[in-house]
Every structure is written in structure tokens, then in C-alpha cells.
Amino acid sequence: MNPKSNLFCKIITISLFVHISISGSPPQIRFEHLTINDGLSQSSVRAILQDSYGFMWFGTQDGLNLYNGYEFEIFKNIKNDTTSISNNFINDLQEDLNGFIWIATDNGLNRFDHSTRKFKRIDLHDFFNNKSLSNSILSINATDTNVWFSTKDGVYKYNIERNSIDIYKLSSLEDDTRSDVKVSLFRTRSDMLWAITNMFGVYDYDSDSNIFKEIKFKQAGNSPLLQLNEIYEDSEGIFWFGSSAGLNKYNSKTSELITYKEEIESITNENITTNIINSITEDDFGNLWIATSGYGLIYLNKKSEEFVVYKNDLINEKSISIDVAHKVYKDRTGIIWIGTDGGGVDKMSTYLNHFSLVQQSTYGLSFKSVRSLFEDRYGNIWISGYNGLDRYNPQTNKYKQFYNELKSNGKTINDIVYSIIEDKQLPEKYLYFGTEGNGIFRYDISSERFSSFFLSGSSYGNNMILCMLDDGHNLWAGTYNGLFKINKKSGLYKKYLYKENDLSVIEPQNITSLFKDARGNFWIGTSQHGLLLMDSKNEKLVSLSSLMSNLNDQQVSLNIGKYIKCIFESNIGELWVGTTEGLFKINKDSKKVISYTVNDGLPNNVIYGILEDDSRNLWLSTNFGITVFNPIEKTFTNYDYLDGLQSNEFNTNAYMKSKSGTLYFGGIRGFNYFNPSKIEFNTTVPNIVFTDFYLFNKKIDVGEVFNNRVILERPITTLDTLVLNYSENVFTVYFSSLDFSAPGKNLYSHKLEGFNEEFSIPTSNRFVTYTNLNPGKYVLIVKGSNNNKLWNESGVSLVIIINPPFWLTWWFFVFVASVIIMILFSIYKYRINRILELERLRVKIASDLHDEVGATLTKVSMRAQMLEMQVNDEKEAWSLKRISEQSREAVSTMQDIVWAIDARNDDFDNLINKMKDTAYSILAEKDIKVNFSISGINSDNKIDIELRQNLYLILKESVHNVMKHSDATETKISLENNKDSLTMIISDNGKTFNQKEHYSGQGLRNIEMRAKKINAVCQFINENGFKVIIKAPPIL
């Protein structure tokens, strides 16, 4: 036998009678509602799950819902689409260790894949031939390799890897054919798998024998505990059973079973004969929340064993939506979610309920708008409002309504009680109530009787009591028409009106607030004349401006507004005034005024009430929620309706601090009370996810074809990189901080790396739009906070790549560059071929000139010379001699031309050698010494044909001049190339010449002409010989 089963057979049943504090009106909790009006697919919610991303899932009777805190995504069966969910009736939800969502439906098991947004169906009839087997899946328990699920026929194990199913029959179900049999699954913290039935008890899976064995839980009288709907194991390892016997508590260590049937019957006022408990969960404080059929939501404080039931209240919209609840579930931030039968989803945040909320309800507060709050000497809280006056006893948690009991001389009290105070004189036990039109009523606490006290029959204005103050002997009343001092014993009164400059009475004079500070100063707030002070000597009303008339220009303006809402003195003696124009601090000694408005952090400039907590922070009620002001740091922390307040709008006079330190603030939809020292904040860092993607304001779904292509292959939630075309550069990305305490107060900040490097100013906007981004790679980073501004600094990121148009792509650039290179190469190749062709032509011409023309001229010269030797006639001989000489000159000239034309001579080495040969050969005739120097020239460098030819001919002409005319003994020739010029200098040490005659010679003109052809500067120096300087552009 399984040892684990033996453990549960040894049960000691203890009958325990627990004292439970039950009240007619339990402390109110604010339930938020999600209904079909918010996008929920259907109102009956049977299953709830928070997945590993942080999304909430709700299974209804008509569809599966995914919730991101702002909107729902609905999944339903689509005919002929096998990747849709198999059925719309959802019974259970669970996520496995791989992140797949498993869904139990009325027609099979389904698996949802986040990455594809598709469902896989597991139909029992595909695995078993027995068509009588129910395919309605009731419960799921998933591991990494197996998914256990149940139907009314028993338990099944689906092996994910093998895609196979094993069936496990429970012994009591083998012969049972009833259709109302339910089997659910539960896994304990010690990894035991239990099958729970609503008729035959609990079965434990024995892995050794691979069967389920029955566990016997016995109640008082030794009867077995059989009819079970729910089992829950709390954080202490205690098991809680929901059964036909009510709530059962089982301690596996002591084997004790405790039954709470009588307690459940007591709070529900019903005789429990059937199983009413559908679901159980535990909150962050160790308390149990129990969903029931017809009896609402039950709360159990495990330490005090106090039960409270929360049921629907038709006149309280923040009560639970309906009394039938299928499922109760706690998410990671501690929010309690309730799936109801017809009311949608209810949620309750423990972090919002620190602002306890009291609103109009059947057994509680009898009216909606609260106008005054007061605590009497016995600790009772008096609350007044339109058409109502209630007294709340915190000890008994009960309300008593007085509206119909208030009678004075046969008349009922008027609609509104504006103010409530208590008689300070002991042993008097009176309360005074200032009304809208019937003056002041006095309430005798001992006899619990009301009587008319003051101005009940006077004219309109005097009987409008807005505020009251008791100084011991006298009662002061502020009205629509001045200030009254009333002797409480005699009833005699005196009226006070404010007179400007002691000359005339200013009408009207609505007195809105009265306050006596620690020094005995009597402050009066008005709605037309600002703040007044009662002069104690002559009992005259003095304005604040008159009181502080000695202020200089360097100090804050005295204008604190005409409408004073409240006056308060702090524990350190600072006077604070709430007005319709902000908060003001008045220093009575220095006579300085400091103002605080919305520009300083106030949520609204209308200040209804001011209270101080034990940490000396000021709590202010306004027209936009409650704010807490730290006077030291001068900072405001604002709370609004989303934080659990009755409304954003509060009321004048509706505020007080109880003896226990609890603060009360009333408004147009009830009142809030809280202990500032016990307010806890949401410390859960939220997960941030991307939720949706839009192109040109159109939502893009997974797999959707847009611009002839699929944009999202996977959901943007699971996407790392998003690739867009250059024309798809107007897009919107949505995101969500998955903290559901108050989604409207979640904040977001984002930046797009590559576009802007600074995070945006935090706002509640949960989307960002970009337009006309240049092609490139960007990274969108989004940070988010929870409702208490606790940030997920890591955030979530998405790489966005915008592909450029084809003409801006790298391959297009490579293609264009390749084409350009090919064109340039072709041009280069063509030019090279042309150059080579020209060089070949030059070589051919040079060869032809040398071989043909040169040979012919040589023959002419030789024949002329031979004929000269044969003739005797002197004149003929001279002619033949000239022919021979000119032929030789022509050969020499032609040789120079051939040398210049020949491409094989296109380098400096050939030029230099030619120059040397020519200079040496010409000057050698007269034994003139030649010095040749070369500088900055690479002899292998190519040289332009025209430059080469003209440099050579200039040198040749210059050398001829030296040989013919200079009588020199030495000639220097230098050729220097630098970054500035190519310079050739031919100089000799011969005689000087007549400048005019010499410069007019044909040789020098030829030199100048040839210098111009090569863009050179030519210079002749006739000093200590003769010097020719040629400066041409440098050879680089």
C-alpha cells in the first residue's frame, strides 16, 4: 500500500467551536469589475490564470480571454480552422514549465503556443475508439513532459513527446453512470497528485503501481468526507477542503481535521446541505478567500478565525458583482481575482484597500454624499450628508440611521447637516448639528433625543449653519449671513459682521470655517472676504491684510484668495489655510505667507480639508483626490480614485482625525478612512511587454499579409527583431506594464536608440508612434512602473530594422560602384590601348624615318661628296659640298626627330643620356669641359614626348651657342626636379655678348619659343659668361 495513503487513513477528527465576530456590515472592500462592457467575451468566468509573461487569462462559457490591463484579446472556435480553440466553454487553465497554456474545454484539451498564436487540439476520440467517453475536460495539471487532465470518466495522462494518452479509472467511478460526477486534479507542495471527486472523495496517484488509490478523510462520527469540490494547500502546508460539510481544515502533520460547517452556516444564514465552495486561495497576508455558489466571497482570517462574507449590494457598485463565484485566484502582485457566474471578473487589490472605503449600502451608510464627519467621546463616528445622518460604531461595526428620527416641533431636519460638534463642558452630553435651513439641533446622548436649539425659525441665511465651534461657554456658528455667538445655557446670541475700515458692513458674509489656535486666536474663514481674525479686545473682525499691513515688497503676496475652505494648526504651531486658490502657510510671528498651488505639485487648488499625521505630514482633500504634503521636503504625493478613494471630489467640512490616529475624508460618493502609518505600497516590479503593432494606424496581426508580405511572423510580445521596408516607416508600438493594481496609474518612458538617446518624460500613454524614420537599425526600449511608481528599469527592448530602398542598399552601391569601375576600367583600357597603339605607331614612324629617309639622305650626302671629289669646277664642287653638308644636317635633324618620336625613349634615362651625348659630342670639337648634374629625378620615370623633345632641343641649341660664340673652356649643365619646378640650367664661363645683338639672334628666339611650348619660364643671364635658365612645371 502507498505510504502516502496510509498517512491520510490515520485521521483524528476534532469538533472545534470557534468564536466568530460577525457584524451586520463588514468592513467594505472596493471590488473593481471587468465585464462585457470592458471587452470580456462573456460574463460567466470559470477559470483564471496569470502566465509567465504576466498576462491574465480568463476562461468563460463563451471564449478564452487574454487581458493586458487595458483591453482583451478573445480566442474562439473558428469553423474549419483546426488551429483555433476546439470549444468556447472553458473549464480550466494552466501553464506548463515550457510556457504553453493548456485549456480544458467542453470539447477536448487544447494547447496554446505564444510564439505562433495557434492552438493544438487533443481530442480523446482520436486516441480511443470508445465514443461514449466524455470529451469534456474538467481539470488540468501540467508538468514539463506530461499533462494530466480529468473528465467525469476519470483521469488521463497525455505524454507530450510521444503524443499518447493513458487512462486511469477511479475505482468508485467504474460502474457509475451519473452525468453530474465531477473529477478535478490537485498537486500538493510535496508533488503528490490527487484526484478529487464531488461524490467519492479523494484519490492519490501512486507512481510505483501507476494507479490512483482512495484516501479516507473521516468527519465527526467517523463518516467519510466524500463530496469535495476544492482542495487548497496554504503557505503553511495546511490543506483546506471545500465540501458538503462546509469548510474543512486538515493538518497533515497532526492528522487533525477541523470542520467549519456551523461557522459557514452562521455567516450565510443558511443550512448548508450541498457543497457551496468552488475555489480557495490565500492572500499575501495569510488570509483565505473562498468563492461560493450563491453566498458570495468569504474571507477567513486564519489567525483570529474570523469569517466575513462579501455579497452583492444593489446600491453599492463597488460590492462584489454577483453572489455566485466559480474561481478565486491570487496573482503575483497580490491582487485577488474572482470569476463570477454572470457578473464577469471582479478584482480586489490589497494595496488599494488601505484606503478603506465606505459607500452607500443596504446595511451600512444610508446616503451617497458625505458632508460632515465627527467622532464623539465614546468613539462613535457621526456621518452626515444629503437626506441622512448616520452613526457608526467601530466596535460593533454597525450603523444606526437617524434621518427619520430627527424631529423638532413636528418638523424633520432639513436635507443637509453641514457641521457636527460636541459640547466640551462636562458632564454635558450633547451633540450639536448645524443644518442647511433649520438652524442648530441639539442631541442628548443619554436620552437619544433631538431638540431645536437655535435659529430654527429665523429668516433664510441666518439659519444656514455652515460651521460651528465650542469654546466652553459659548457656541459659535458660522452662517450664510454672518457669525453668531450663542450662550449655550441662556440661548442668547450676538451677531458679528465684518466692516471694512470700520465704516460699512459688507454683504453678504458667508462664514465657511471657524478655528481657534493654540494661542487663543480666533480665525474665521469666509467665502467673499478671505481670512478674518477676531480682535479679542473689542470683538471686531479684522482682515488678514490689515493684520499684516507691514509686509514689505520682498515677501510673498497676501492674496490667499477670497474663499476659505478650512483652517488648521500643525503640532509645531504653523497655521495652514485651505482655499479655492491653493494651500497657504501663515507664519503668525514673521507675518509671512507661503503659497502652494498645482504648479508646486498639488493635484488641484481647491483644498477642502487639512489633517496632520503622526509624522507631521499634512493630508489634504481636494477636488482631485487626496494629497499628502511633506512640509520639510516640500513635496506632494497624490492619490486619486484609482488608488481606492471614494471619488476624486471631496466635500467641505467632511474631514476629521479620530483619537486612534485614523484619518477620515468624505466626498460625493462616500468616505475613506485610513491610518497613514499602515499604508503599504506595491513593491512588485512589473513585467513590461510589447502588445500590439500598427502600420499606418492599422493593427497588424500575426501572419497577416501587408504590402504583399508578412510583417509579423510571431507576436510582437515574443519578437526580438522587427524588419520593415523603407515605405513602412509610419508605425505605432503598444506596450503594457503587467501590474493590474491600478493600470491607469502605471507610467511609461521610452527611447529609440539611433533616433533619440534620452528617455521620454514618464506618462500613462502606453504607445509610441514614429514617422519618416530614415533607413537603419534602431532599438526601442520601454521602461514601465506600477501604480506606486516603482519602475522596471531594465524594461523591454525591440530591435527595429528599416531596410533602405534598393537604390540605397549596400548591394546596389556595390553594383553601381562595379559598373563605374568597369566603365572607368574600359576607358582606361581604351586609353592604354590607344597609347600603346600610338607608341607602336611612333616606333614604326621612327623606324621608317631612320631606315628609309635617313638612309636616303645618307646616300645623297655620300654621293654628293663623291661627286665633289670627281669634278674640277670650283663652283660645282662648292655646290656639291653644300648638298653633302645639308644632307648630313638633315640626317642629324631627322635623327633628333626620330629619337623624339620613338616611344622607347619616353623616360628620363634616355633624355639624360641623349643630352649628355649631344653636349659631349658638340663641345668636344673645341675641347670645352662639360659638368653634368642631376637632382630629384627618377631616371625610370616616364616623361611627356613634347617636354622631352623641347628640353632636348633647348639644350642642343644652347650647347651650339656655347660652342660657336662663347670662347668658353667649361660648361655646366644641371637638371633638377622638386615640388615647385623642373629646372634646367646651361651656363658657361665664356665671354659676355652685346645684349641687344645677342638676344636678337635666331637661336635664343628658338629657345624662348620652345620654352613656351612646355609652359616654362625662360631666362638669359649675360654675366660672367652666359646662362640659360628654363623653369618648367614639376614632374610629380
Phi, psi at 500, each rounded to 5°: -75, 125
Query: Average pLDDT of 928-955?
Result: 88
pLDDT at 9 over 50: no
C-alpha distances in Å from residue 16, one per residue of 11, 219, 259? 15, 12, 7
For residue 356, give the C-alpha cell: 478603506
What pLDDT does 1001 receive? 60
CATH number, domain 688-802: 2.60.40.10
Positions of E strands within 28-80: 32-34, 45-50, 56-60, 63-67, 72-75
Query: Average pLDDT of 866-874?
Result: 70
What pLDDT does 457 receive? 58
Q: Which of 75-89, 843-857, 1011-1025 has the highest mean pLDDT?
A: 75-89
Among 3.30.470.20, 3.90.550.10, 3.30.565.10, 3.40.50.10490, what is the CATH number of 908-1036? 3.30.565.10
925 Cβ neighbours under 8 A, 6+ residues apart: 963
742 Cβ neighbours under 8 A, 6+ residues apart: 349, 352, 642, 643, 787
244 Cβ neighbours under 8 A, 6+ residues apart: 226, 227, 272, 273, 274, 275
For residue 530, give the C-alpha cell: 478671505
| pLDDT tens digits for range 812-841 | 889 999 999 999 999 988 888 877 777 676
Of the pLDDT bands very low, low, confident and very high (cuts 50, 70, 90), residue 409 is: very low
Query: Is residue 797 within 8 Å of 779, Cβ to Cβ?
Result: yes
Place of cell 494552466: 94
Fold match between 688-802 and 908-1036? Answer: no
Query: Average pLDDT of 128-142?
Result: 92
CA distance 57 to 100: 13
C-alpha distances in Å from residue 1005, one per residue of 398, 450, 987, 1011? 132, 140, 17, 10
pLDDT at 21 over 70: no
For residue 759, give the C-alpha cell: 528617455
Contacts made by residues 967-972, CB under 8 angstroms, sequence distance 24+ = 967/991, 968/928, 968/1025, 969/927, 969/928, 969/929, 970/928, 970/929, 970/930, 970/931, 971/919, 971/923, 971/928, 971/929, 971/930, 971/931, 972/931, 972/933
Q: What is the DSSP string of 945-964?
A: HHHHHHHHHHHHHHHHHIII
Q: Is 757 helix (H, G, I), strand (E, B) or coil?
A: coil
Of the pLDDT bands very low, low, confident and very high (cuts 50, 70, 90), residue 809 is: confident
What pLDDT does 17 receive? 25
> What are the boundaries of each domain within the chain?
688-802, 809-905, 908-1036
Q: Which of 267-276, 388-397, 905-914 has the highest mean pLDDT?
A: 388-397
pLDDT at 407 over 60: no
| Helical residues (DSSP H) of 803-873, grouped into ranges | 810-848, 854-870
For residue 503, give the C-alpha cell: 465704516
Sort residue 756 into left (φ over 0), alpha (ψ -120 to 50) or beta: beta
What pLDDT does 181 receive? 78
Q: Residue 819, CB half-sphere, CA atoms under 13 Å: how many? A: 5
What pLDDT does 24 receive? 35
pLDDT at 326 over 60: yes
| pLDDT tens digits for range 216-238 | 877 665 666 778 889 999 999 99
What pLDDT does 542 receive? 83
What pLDDT does 20 receive? 30
CA distance 264 to 245: 9
Q: Which of 121-130, 426-435, 438-447, 855-864 has the highest mean pLDDT?
A: 121-130
Count of all residues that appear for the chain in the document: 1036
What pLDDT does 856 receive? 67
| pLDDT tens digits for range 568-608 | 999 999 999 999 999 999 887 767 889 999 999 999 999 99
What pLDDT does 735 receive? 98
Q: What average pLDDT is seen over the chain?
A: 86
Q: Spell out the SS3 assignment of 612-678.
A: ECCCCCEEEEEECEEEEEECCCCEEEEECHHHCCCCCCEEEEEEEECCCCCEEEEECCEEEEECHHH
Closest CA to 570 of 628, 638, 514, 517: 517
Query: Average pLDDT of 943-969?
Result: 88
Phi, psi at 937, each rounded to 5°: -120, 130
Radius of gyration of the chain from Cα atoms?
Answer: 54
Which of 90-94, 183-187, 521-525, 945-949 comes out lowest in average pLDDT?
A: 945-949
CB atoms within 10 A of CB 890: 17
Closest CA to 218 of 193, 194, 201, 205: 201
Say which residue, 973 or 29, is predicted with more confidence: 973
| pLDDT tens digits for range 699-719 | 999 999 998 999 999 999 999
CA distance 489 to 29: 45
Q: Is 398 helix (H, G, I), strand (E, B) or coil?
A: strand
pLDDT at 371 over 90: yes
What pLDDT does 16 receive? 26
What pLDDT does 194 receive? 95
Which of 65-79, 127-141, 626-640, 940-954 comes out lowest in average pLDDT?
A: 940-954
What pLDDT does 364 receive? 87
What pLDDT does 995 receive? 55
Burial class (CB in 10 A: 0-12, 13-18, 19+), 73: middle
Query: Is residue 437 within 8 Å of 457, Cβ to Cβ?
Result: no
